[in-house]
């Protein structure tokens, strides 16, 4: 056996400890989600005395079918999808467009503009002044407030700036300028195609943030037809009361034989909504995970 393949006792102990620790963290993280999925796929009447298991009891999709019939939840899901798609696209584009000039060392007053961006990372105007601004510029109670609010994260901006600065050689910029390319030509034809990795990372960051954003809808949306799924989910999870008027749980509670059964049915429905609200984020990570580690490690280098 060569010297390179030899492992000391300390290395073996260290690797074993890391594997065990990661297994414990992974199980403790995955188990609650699998438990929620199992409850959502179980019949409400079978949950009395239901053991702590990740296997559904009396498997059924009735609760999911009932939720899909609820117009408010379906509308909220569509609202969240719309906000996430267009909001993420706008956020990523604005972030990369700002990161590109800040990556140029020859940009006049570059440090000053960078300091202004970093300043907003630690200090803000506060909720009330922000609310008044949103109202005065006509964004209050519109979908645009959900899309444009927090469009540029300073943390993501710094990661994107560092990636562009360290991964795209300055010689490419000089060659493009010699060929008569403008800054816009260079940005869209060179910087964007070469920044797919960091763009994938930004899509994950912004996409998860937009999908999980409930506070913006809670504060800036008055029309209930515009509410995103997370805000509706928060309202449902805040109470165990079954709404007899049909606001949320009419389709799943109107056939309940008793109040106890109705409450159990409503509880299962809440778990179903949690799964529906979490699923798109899990799928997003699954598709972009191969870009995620590479992009975040390159973008985290000090620039």
CA dihedral 164, 166, 171, 176 (to 10 degrees): -10
Q: Identify the architecture of domain 66-299 in CATH.
A: Orthogonal Bundle (1.10)
pLDDT above 70 (res 218):
yes
Give CA separation, 143 vs 138, 214, 232, in Å: 11, 13, 15
Domain extents for the chain?
66-299
Three-class SS of residue 191? helix
Give the integer Cα–Cα distance in Å for 192 and 180: 18
For tokens 């699923």, what's the residue?
Answer: 279
The dihedral of CA 90, 91, 95, 98: what is its sign?
Answer: positive
- What would the mean pLDDT of 67-85 be, rounded to a whole number? 84
Q: What per-residue confidence (pLDDT) applies to 295?
A: 56
Q: What per-residue confidence (pLDDT) applies to 52?
A: 63
Give the integer Cα–Cα distance in Å for 195 and 145: 28
| Highest averaged pLDDT of the listed ranges 63-67, 139-143, 236-240 | 139-143
- Top pLDDT among 246 and 103 is at 103
- Top pLDDT among 146 and 47 is at 146
- Chain Cα centroid distance, residue 82: 14
CB atoms within 10 A of CB 230: 22
Three-class SS of residue 168? coil
Q: What per-residue confidence (pLDDT) applies to 12?
A: 85
Confidence of residue 95 (pLDDT cuts 50, 70, 90): very high
pLDDT above 70 (res 3):
no
pLDDT above 50 (res 250):
no
- Top pLDDT among 285 and 81 is at 81
CA atoms lying within 13 Å on the CB side of residue 221: 25
Q: What is the pTM of this model?
A: 0.74
Asked if 151 contacts 89 with a C-beta cutoff of 8 angstroms, the reply is no
Q: What per-residue confidence (pLDDT) applies to 265?
A: 67
Asked if 300 contacts 158 with a C-beta cutoff of 8 angstroms, the reply is no
- What would the mean pLDDT of 80-94 be, rounded to a whole number? 92
Q: What are phi and psi of 107, to 5 degrees?
A: -65, 125
Q: What per-residue confidence (pLDDT) applies to 294?
A: 60
Q: What digits encode the pLDDT tens for the residues 256-272?
A: 445 566 666 666 777 78
Considering the chain, what is the average pLDDT of its residues? Answer: 79
Which residues are within 8 A (CB) of 241 and not within 5 positions of it... i.e. 6 or more apart? none
pLDDT above 80 (res 239):
no
- Top pLDDT among 260 and 160 is at 160
Q: What are phi and psi of 150, to 5 degrees?
A: 65, 40
Give the integer Cα–Cα distance in Å for 221 and 299: 35
Total H helices, total E strands in the chain: 15, 0
């Amino acid at each position: 056996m060569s010297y390179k393949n030899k492992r000391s006792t300390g290395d073996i102990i260290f690797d074993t400890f890391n594997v065990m620790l990661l297994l414990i963290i992974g199980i403790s993280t995955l188990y609650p989600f699998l438990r929620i999925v199992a409850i959502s796929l179980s019949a409400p009447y079978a949950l009395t005395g239901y053991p702590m298991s990740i296997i559904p009891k009396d498997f059924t999709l009735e609760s999911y079918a009932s939720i899909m019939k609820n117009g408010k939840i379906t509308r909220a899901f569509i609202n969240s999808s719309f906000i996430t798609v267009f909001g993420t696209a706008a956020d990523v584009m604005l972030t990369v467009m700002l990161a590109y000039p800040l990556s140029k060392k020859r940009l006049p007053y570059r440090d000053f503009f960078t300091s202004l961006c970093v300043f907003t990372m630690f200090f803000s105007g506060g909720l009330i002044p922000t609310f008044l601004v949103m109202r005065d510029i006509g964004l209050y109670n519109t979908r645009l407030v959900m899309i444009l609010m927090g469009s540029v994260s300073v943390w993501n901006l710094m990661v994107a700036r560092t990636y562009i600065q360290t991964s795209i050689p300055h010689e490419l910029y000089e060659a493009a300028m010699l060929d008569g390319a403008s800054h816009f030509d260079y940005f869209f034809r060179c910087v964007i195609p070469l920044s797919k990795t960091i763009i994938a990372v930004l899509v994950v960051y912004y996409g998860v943030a937009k999908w999980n954003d409930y506070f913006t809808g809670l504060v800036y949306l008055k029309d209930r037809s515009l509410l995103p799924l997370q805000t509706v989910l928060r309202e449902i999870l805040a109470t165990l009361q079954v709404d007899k008027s049909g606001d949320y749980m009419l389709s799943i509670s109107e056939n309940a034989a008793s109040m106890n059964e109705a409450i159990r049915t409503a509880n299962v429905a809440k778990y179903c909504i949690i799964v529906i609200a979490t699923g798109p984020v899990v799928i997003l990570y699954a598709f972009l995970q191969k870009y995620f580690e590479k992009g975040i490690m390159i973008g985290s280098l000090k620039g």
